[in-house]
A and B are shown apart, each in its own frame.
Chain A
Amino acid sequence: DAKTTQPTSMDCAEGRAANLPCNHSTISGNEYVYWYRQIHSQGPQYIIHGLKNNETNEMASLIITEDRKSSTLILPHATLRDTAVYYCISATNTGNQFYFGTGTSLTVIP
């Protein structure tokens, strides 16, 4: 079963920052938080992951709360091509089995 919960859907204006929250209140000490997104009829695309420190790459930033019970994915300047379903997953870095939740359907509005 999925160990994360996310809002079902969100809208964001083009050019604005999109902030996608994720709750993982039962995360254990050796589990990472991974973010992926899926555009219709394609495989999920890796975005970013982290353990406890905030992370940033060319796609997004990941902010993890100090207690690690929640995180936020930030797309700094959303474009229409960022419209997708975004999945937050917690998994160990060894077995690494992913149990997907329902994700957040992000719609970027012109």
Chain B
Amino acid sequence: GAVVSQHPSRVICKSGTSVKIECRSLDFQATTMFWYRQFPKKSLMLMATSNEGSKATYEQGVEKDKFLINHASLTLSTLTVTSAHPEDSSFYICSARGGASNQPQHFGDGTRLSIL
């Protein structure tokens, strides 16, 4: 149980394009989803917290107009990297948790984004 699917697993695109990453909870309803990014040999850095049906809460230093987050249903959240540049290249990981208290987060397998 508690499977989180992330798509695509890898994407390569040109500078200036926008890229959408999907995060789905396959076997539970995710009232809260989280987005992280991870640079090589570094730890995960929380970007934003997303509750279903409401606006995402972004961490300090994360541009909300650059990283658009939508959490329109209890099983799907999307992260759109707008007008991507090479410095946006990173490993993006989502996680989800159910509504009951004490539930841990369950992570997707990440999306490796490379901007040329």
The residues of A with any CB-CB pair to B shorter than 8 Å are 2, 32, 34, 36, 38, 41-46, 49, 87, 93-103
Contacts and interface: CB of A to CB of B under 8 A. Distances in A.
B45 A46 contact: no
Query: Quick one: which of A43, A99, A101, A103 has the most chain B CB within 10 A?
Result: A43
Contact of B107 (A43, A95, A96, A102): A43
Which bracket fits the contact residues of B? 20 to 34
Query: Quick one: which of A2, A99, A103 has the most chain B CB within 10 A?
Result: A99
A69 B103 CA distance: 22
Interface of B: 2, 4, 6, 32, 34, 36, 43-46, 49, 91, 93, 95, 97, 101-110, 112
Given A94-B101, A99-B46, A100-B45, A46 B32 contact: no
A52 to B, nearest CB: 13
Given A34-B104, A93-B101, A93-B102, A43 B43 contact: no
24 contacts: A34-B105, A36-B107, A42-B110, A43-B4, A43-B6, A43-B109, A44-B44, A44-B93, A44-B95, A44-B107, A46-B104, A46-B105, A46-B107, A93-B101, A96-B32, A96-B97, A97-B34, A97-B46, A97-B49, A98-B44, A99-B46, A100-B36, A100-B46, A102-B43
